[in-house]
Amino acid sequence: MSFKAVMLTREQDRFAAQVSEIADETLRANTPEADVTVAVEYSTVNYKDALALANKGPVVRKWPMIAGIDAAGTVVDSADGRFSAGDKVVLNGWGAGEGHWGGLAQKARFRADWLVPLPEGLSAKQAMAIGTAGYTAMLCCQALREQGVAADSGEILVTGASGGVGSIAIAILSGWGYRVVASTGKASEADYLKALGAGAVIDRTELSAPGKPLQKERWAGVVDAVGSHTLANACAQTRYGGTVTACGLAQGMDLPATVAPFILRGVRLIGIDSVMCPMPRRRAAWQALASDLDHRKLESTTQEVGLAQAVDVAAAVLAGKVRGRIVVDVNA
């Protein structure tokens, strides 16, 4: 038996990303630590996936590699008592598509410790419309709540708003009753962002250039997927006692900031990691996504492609030309 997968190879600095036919025995041989086999129905192309597919960052740590940090599908067989054939599951992170063969494939093998049962009310396709980007957005939104940022605390800034994290963060926060201000470089997406629930839209240039260490207080909370000067300015504009959640680096990995917002205004900067997030927090995020996210808004954030098209969309994702989320039907 065999299946199709997006295989990444690098030999003598020659890189290739293409759909390949993989034998079941080859999958097993390359995933010796896995104990659950999943028939994948849908995957997705996140920003990190796009980096790997375009060979633009040090994402892949082992070659060859089946790409894909996300997968949703049905258990085929399991050596772990927590899962049985027929169970619906979701996989996000844990090194899939980086150091472990991933989910841009019709079949995958994962450790049971990495799998989340698909929550009631979500289909496999909807789970991948959410994907790591949406799951990360929920972790950010939950962190704001945990830090005491309430719906009546003031405006919440969401940067990189038309991307996957930003789009779903807006939908979540507006659904919870927060007033959201969306920062984007795409003026043409203003109507889309307002339909998701943004109360106002600002141009990213207001945040993306070097700024003063302390600026006029505005934000009660921030969801930032951009990093660099944008994150520094967001911190400098956050109100006394406010919280900034940081989960991305679309502008850069650097943080050209000072300690001023933290020691003079008590601003809290919370790092959000979705890859190795502990299972209880992970499950809670997925349950909240199933219950709190407006699925009609989710549909508006999603574009669907087939497995063969997954490689082609990577450049568009990296260039910021993709609105919302890319869902991959691995059997199309």
Helix (H) or strand (E) holding 321: none
Q: Do 52 and 103 fall into the same domain?
A: yes
Q: Do 111 and 139 fall into the same domain?
A: no
Q: Do 138 and 263 fall into the same domain?
A: yes
Query: Is the torsion defined by CA of 156, 159, 161, 165 positive or negative?
Result: negative
In a domain, 107, yes or no: yes
- Total-model pTM: 0.92
What's residue 35's pLDDT? 96
CA angle 287–289–294, rounded 5-degree value: 135
Q: Do 70 and 96 fall into the same domain?
A: yes
Q: Do 149 and 99 fall into the same domain?
A: no
CB 304 within 8 A of CB 329: yes
Between CA 235 and CA 92 the distance in angstroms is: 29
Which CATH number covers residue 60?
3.90.180.10
SS3 53: helix
**What is the pLDDT tens value at each position of the chain, 332 positions in all?**
899 999 999 988 899 999 999 999 999 999 999 999 999 999 999 889 999 999 988 899 999 999 999 999 999 999 999 999 999 999 999 999 999 999 999 999 999 999 999 999 999 999 999 999 999 999 999 999 999 999 999 999 999 999 999 999 999 999 999 999 999 998 899 999 999 999 999 999 999 999 999 999 999 999 999 999 999 999 999 999 999 999 999 999 999 999 999 999 999 999 999 999 999 999 999 999 999 999 889 888 899 999 999 999 998 988 888 888 899 999 98
Q: Do 139 and 267 fall into the same domain?
A: yes
* Phi, psi of 267, deg, nearest 5: -65, 140
CB 95 within 8 A of CB 295: no
Q: Which residues of 156-190 are buried (b: 16+ CB within 10 A; e: fewer)?
A: bbbbbbbbbbbbbbbbbbbebebbbbbbbebeebb
Q: Which residue has the tokens 């085929």?
A: 76
In a domain, 164, yes or no: yes
Domains of the chain: total = 2
What's residue 319's pLDDT? 85
What range defines the domain where residue 316 resides?
2-118+301-329
What's residue 328's pLDDT? 97
Distance of CA 277 to the CA centre of its chain: 13
Helix (H) or strand (E) holding 126: helix 124-146
Cross-strand pairs, 16: 9
Strand 65-66 with 2-11, pairing: antiparallel
CA distances from 167 to 4, 8, 59, 60, 299 (A): 30, 29, 24, 27, 11
Q: Do 114 and 139 fall into the same domain?
A: no
CB 211 within 8 A of CB 229: yes
Q: Which residue has the tokens 């659950």?
A: 36
Angle between helices 124-146 and 279-292 (to 10 degrees): 110
Q: Which residue has the tokens 């992170």?
A: 93
Which CATH number covers residue 267?
3.40.50.720
CA distances from 175 to 159, 197, 203, 293, 296 (A): 18, 8, 23, 7, 12
CB 238 within 8 A of CB 155: no
In a domain, 285, yes or no: no
CA distances from 133 to 16, 202, 242, 278 (A): 25, 22, 23, 17
* Phi, psi of 224, deg, nearest 5: -115, 125
In a domain, 287, yes or no: no
Q: Do 70 and 140 fall into the same domain?
A: no
What's residue 187's pLDDT? 87
Cross-strand pairs, 145: none
In a domain, 325, yes or no: yes
